[in-house]
Amino acid sequence: MLAFLGRRLLQSVPLLVVISILAFLLIHAAPGGPLAVYLSNPNVRPEDIARLSRALGLDRPLWAQYWSWLTAFAKGDWGYSFSDGRPVADWLADRLPATIELVGVALVGAITITFVTGILSAVRRGKPFDRVTGAVAVAGISLPAFWFGLLLQIVFSVGLGWLPSSGRTVVGGGDLVDHLQHLVMPATVLAVVQAASWSRYLRSSMIDALGRPYTMAARARGLPPHRVVLRHALRNAVSPLIALVMVDAALLASGAVVTESVFAWPGLGSLFTDSLARRDYSVLMALLMLSSVAIVVFNVLADVLHALVDPRVLLGLGSLGSSGDAA
Amino acid sequence: MRRASTAVAIGGLIVVAAAGCHRRSAIGAPSNDLLIVGYDREPDTLNRFSTHILEDIQTCVVEGLTTTDERMNVIPLLAVRVPTLENGDVRLRPDGGMDVTWTLRPGVKWHDGVPFTSADVKFTVEALNNPSYKPESTDGFDRISGVDTPDPLTAVVHYKEIYAPYDIQFIRGAFPKHILEGRDIDRAQDYNRNPLGTGPYRVAEWRAGEYILLERVPHYWMGDEYPRIRRLLFKFVANTNTRINQLKSGEVHVVALVPWDKYRELGGLPSVVVHKTPGNAYEHVTLNERQFPPFADVRVRRALVMALDRELYTKTILDGLAPVADGPIQPISWAYTNQVTRYSFDPVRARALLDEAGWHVGPGGIRQRDGRPLSFTLMTQAGYTIRENVAQAIERQLRDIGVDVRVELHDGTAISAIWFEGHFEAMLHWWQLPSDPELTTFFASDRIPPAGRNINYFQDAELTKLLYASDRTVDREARKQFLKRAEAILSEQVPEIPLYTVTRLDALPASLEHFRGNPTNTGIFWNVYEWNIK
Amino acid sequence: MTPSLKFLPLAVLASLLGAAIVAPLLAPYPPERLDLVHRREPPSTAHVLGTDDLGRDVFARTLAGARVSLAVGLLSACVAGVSGILIGGVAGYSGGVLDAVLMRATDAMLAIPRLPLLMIAGAILQPSISVLVVLIGLVCWMETARVVRAEFLTLRTQGFVENARAAGAGHARIIFAHLLPNAAQTVIVSMTLAVARGILIESALSFFGVGVRPPQASWGNMLYQAQAVLSTEPWLVLAPGLFILATTLSVNMAGERLAHARLE
């Protein structure tokens, strides 16, 4: 197992290097540089621009910039933001808690919905509950997440006035209820979109598990039905789902860019859109790398979990796919 | 199972309803205890010299020797008076340079109790001219050869040449020498995140991504009763619509620079008043002659101007709030003249002019000459609804006279890089002009990028002469004459299509008194110390 | 499902496609026609779905948007499908090092968050519709590649390859004439899902202003413009969003039917 883990992690390193090169080239293909922000100001003269460019190392050849960025990154030095000179790590640390909070709550919600609807629709297969949740789930996969967010805003903020339309807290930190009020809509959007695909996955693997001999054996032994479902069938159905959740969880975090933007949630997602507008290369690179690292790590963990369940995976028959992207 | 799911559903509804009822108690109405400002972005730094964009928050903390008021007059702040030739504080030297004497107000202290002296002014000049510091601009400072400080309240600034905007040289104030001496200012995060100033407020908290909270200082030099508002909170809300929505719901109390298409929405709110201040900025369509040679023909330019119904735009898209502009100098400036050529909406004449210039309508309705179509790209900034709408309206009206326009939207930062490098044909753009009407950088022949901002690449010898003449004298009457003739040339030659004068709209609580709008970069907080909420 | 409902998704899709194709004939006004005097009007007899911020007819723009969104969805799915088949097919067929390398490349692409990457690309490149199609296709092939590879591996264990090799077929022939047809169903399902994904991605990109740009209409950029007037003209948000939902829903449901077609 350790050899497997080691091999997978080692395989990930060139992966990340390739990702970083790709991201670096893309970001630097931009017609604006990080100094573009200053160019619109009539008081800034070209000598100033040149001076700033030299000071930030932007006049060196591209590969030189990349190399210094990469070596620093590997050593844990993620550089300084081009806009205010603050260490990039500080920016990330400031915004990370908000994203973790949003994604965490959304995950809890998604998992809850997944389990409730996945199990119930498997048990009541073919019945109205199953049909309805099935339809809703397909709708959930087809839903543009940003539109869902807009609709919620129209109904609950503009229309009913029950919930604040955006932000994380009211000024100066509110109480718990206020916090929850801000959290509920963005978390719902994320949770619903994810739960839609997960619950269907769980449903089919539950149906599969319910049809297995060990389930029928458990029933034959006279165990009460909910015990059969929960203890026996579910335990077997759940492990591939857990692996899938881990893979999708990372996608969830990066896909939160859209939701954070619509709801002005001050997390890494909105940091991404802000940095994109400012062409703040250091922050953008760090964000892309961070999410890619997260996804890679989760992928490996998912493989490990899968291997624990099904040792054949150790022979290298490939890793899991994901169920879709959060948009 | 079924009962369980029903229970969950009912429970959920109860929670949401309860949450709804609980609303609004945590956010109060504006009061002298707390005023919340919806701000359009988080500043990178609060160091006024490191970035000149967005100085509203800094203005409350760090004061300048002078500032500009609601009529764009330069008034003294930390200085006792504005140096002029008349009062003897400005002396022209025989070698072509000048000396400006600043007399500082006595009794002003930094917030940590250390007195504010001329040594701080001298230190600031040296810091800005130090190559190791990367301020946004050293304009003007690089023309200072040295500063003498004969006593703690007097600073004599020696300029190598005559520099017309000397009176706003220190509008951003000074660095505290006792805090920043000998340090790498770019990395001095304690100062950049929480600058030491002399103003009515200081930074109490900066919660990244969310807000900056300012609190009043106990002994402001203008008087202990100022400022009246105890705390100012600047909440970062990037999305304009979200910001306006929060204003409507009471989550924020103040929003600066309200877009014109939101004016009506806010008009019906009893608790909000929208103040209109004629601005010192204007929007225009830049015509890059170098990149698109047909623009070099003045007949083509005039035709383009006459094809656009600018009055209709301001009436509809701008809701009548921003009047049509005729040139870069706005009515609010002392250098403004209305003796300029005006082109009215006349598509018939526009077509005639294009025909005369040799551009005849070809297949598909687009004009061409020598096989080349009259077709260009119009760029503008994405994310600004009004600008996007104007661009599209322009596209349609130019198509009506046979000119093909492709609209391209770019991010704000990309836009700056694009015009700086000159890789564009036409751009829907705006300039916020400094309070001093120095137009050289925009229209002088030798100030095309990267030497300046003549992004029309316009070449006119007489205009250039006039503009430089205006810069090189501090005699206001003489400057007025030069600029008057310059404006006449500009309006007649239309190197760019002026569209409209930006009217500042600022939304404030109806209960707030002593607000005085400000059309310059100084922003609306220039007199925040006297604001009072009834 | 009752028999009539079974064909609902296909019916919806067909009508949307049909409307998109004949859009210029159906539209009461040209979608780009401005009418500055009649901005932001609610639905009326003159304008069935009202007018937008520049006085353009929303219904006409919705139809024009259908053309763009459907085209982008279908074409990007083709790009994704072809790339996926090539990569997954070669990987599944060859095995060994080539398989490992291709699968690691697939993993690499899957590890990059799709939407942020495309947002950066969209902001930088200002893509035309064709470039947009290619860009979206380039981030959507991975699912198809994995599916094709898995199918080929299964087919290999079932002896398809040996049989064909024994009959003297070359590599390309084996892949395209023997393996691929057997994997057809899964591939088609995968490409169907890619259509829905492509439409959603294009909408999201246009919504952020980095996809299809005005004055050209796309459902996504109509929502981008509608967001600005959310509190005063909320109806502008409904039409484009409902159309996106209807389209992707029908496509996904059709994909579902296809997936279960022979298993029921």
pLDDT in tens, A156-209: 887 777 887 777 776 555 678 888 888 999 999 999 988 888 888 888 888 887
| Structure-token match 């039409």, residue found | C239
Q: Is B103 helix (H, G, I), strand (E, B) or coil?
A: strand
Span A104-163, pLDDT tens digits: 899 889 989 998 898 888 888 888 888 888 888 988 888 888 899 888 988 888 777 788
- Bridging pattern class, strands B98-103 and B90-92: antiparallel
Say if the Cβ atoms of A167 and B235 lie within 8 Å. yes
The confidence score (pLDDT) of residue A83 equals 62
Nearby residues of A40 by Cβ (< 8 Å), 6 or more positions away: B412, B415, B416
Chain B residues close to A36, C-beta within 8 Å: 413-417, 420
Asked if residues A11 and A56 have their Cβ atoms less than 8 Å apart, the reply is: no
- CA A166/CA A158 separation, integer angstroms: 11
Span B7-53, pLDDT tens digits: 555 555 555 555 444 444 445 788 899 999 998 777 778 888 877 66
Average pLDDT (B253-272) is: 86
Rg (CA), chain A: 24
pTM of the model: 0.78
- CA A226/CA A123 separation, integer angstroms: 10
Reference B321, options B502, B72, B509; nearest CA is B502
Which of A35-39, B467-471, B495-499 bottoms out in mean pLDDT, i.e. has the lowest?
A35-39
Distance from CA of B140 to the nearest CA of A (A): 10
Reference B307, options B512, B452, B497; nearest CA is B497
Say if the Cβ atoms of C231 and B265 lie within 8 Å. yes
- CA A151/CA A145 separation, integer angstroms: 10
| Structure-token match 């600058």, residue found | B195
**Which pair of structure tokens corresponds to residue A70?**
């990469």
Q: Is B359 helix (H, G, I), strand (E, B) or coil?
A: coil
What is each CA distance from C251 to A197, A255, B424, in whole angstroms?
15, 22, 41
Reference C161, options C173, C146, C150; nearest CA is C173
What is each CA distance from A100 to A183, A252, A257, C185, in whole angstroms?
12, 11, 13, 40
Say if the Cβ atoms of B236 and A266 lie within 8 Å. yes
Say if the Cβ atoms of B19 and A181 lie within 8 Å. yes
Distance from CA of C64 to the nearest CA of A (A): 19
Say if the Cβ atoms of A43 and B192 lie within 8 Å. no
- CA B61/CA B440 separation, integer angstroms: 32
The confidence score (pLDDT) of residue B13 equals 57
Choose from A30-34, B71-75, B110-114, B442-446 the range with maximum mean pLDDT.
B110-114
Q: Which of B20, B237, B411 lies at the smallest CB-CB distance from A264?
A: B237
Q: How many CA within 13 A on the CB side of residue A48? A: 28
Span B337-356, pLDDT tens digits: 888 889 999 999 999 999 99
Distance of CA B64 to the CA centre of its chain: 17
| Structure-token match 């300012």, residue found | B214
Range C127-135 contact pairs with CB under 8 angstroms and sequence separation of 24 or more: C127/C211, C129/C68, C129/C71, C129/C72, C129/C212, C129/C216, C132/C72, C132/C76, C132/C202, C132/C205, C132/C211, C132/C212, C133/C71, C133/C72, C133/C75, C133/C76, C133/C79, C134/C76, C134/C79
Chain B residues close to C232, C-beta within 8 Å: 265
Question: Which is higher by pLDDT, B398 or C230?
Answer: B398
Of the pLDDT bands very low, low, confident and very high (cuts 50, 70, 90), residue A32 is low
- CA B438/CA A158 separation, integer angstroms: 46
- Bridging pattern class, strands B367-369 and B372-373: antiparallel
Which of A265-269, B64-68, B228-232, C254-258 bottoms out in mean pLDDT, i.e. has the lowest?
C254-258
Q: Is B377 helix (H, G, I), strand (E, B) or coil?
A: strand
Query: For residue B124, is pLDDT > 90?
Result: yes
Q: Which of B316, B392, B410 lies at the smallest CB-CB distance from C214?
A: B392
| Structure-token match 């956010």, residue found | B27
Q: Is A29 helix (H, G, I), strand (E, B) or coil?
A: coil
Reference A85, options B455, B187, B222; nearest CA is B187
The confidence score (pLDDT) of residue B425 equals 93
With vertex at residue B487, the alpha carbon angle to CA B486 and CA B488, rounded to the nearest 5 degrees, is: 90
Tell me whether B210 touches chain C (CB under 8 Å): no
Nearby residues of B60 by Cβ (< 8 Å), 6 or more positions away: B199, B200, B201, B214, B232, B525, B528
Q: How many CA within 13 A on the CB side of residue A184? A: 22
Span B356-379, pLDDT tens digits: 999 999 888 899 998 899 999 999
Q: Which of B245, B392, B410 lies at the smallest CB-CB distance from C231?
A: B245
Query: For residue B75, is pLDDT > 90?
Result: yes
What is each CA distance from A227 to A219, A230, A240, in whole angstroms?
9, 5, 21
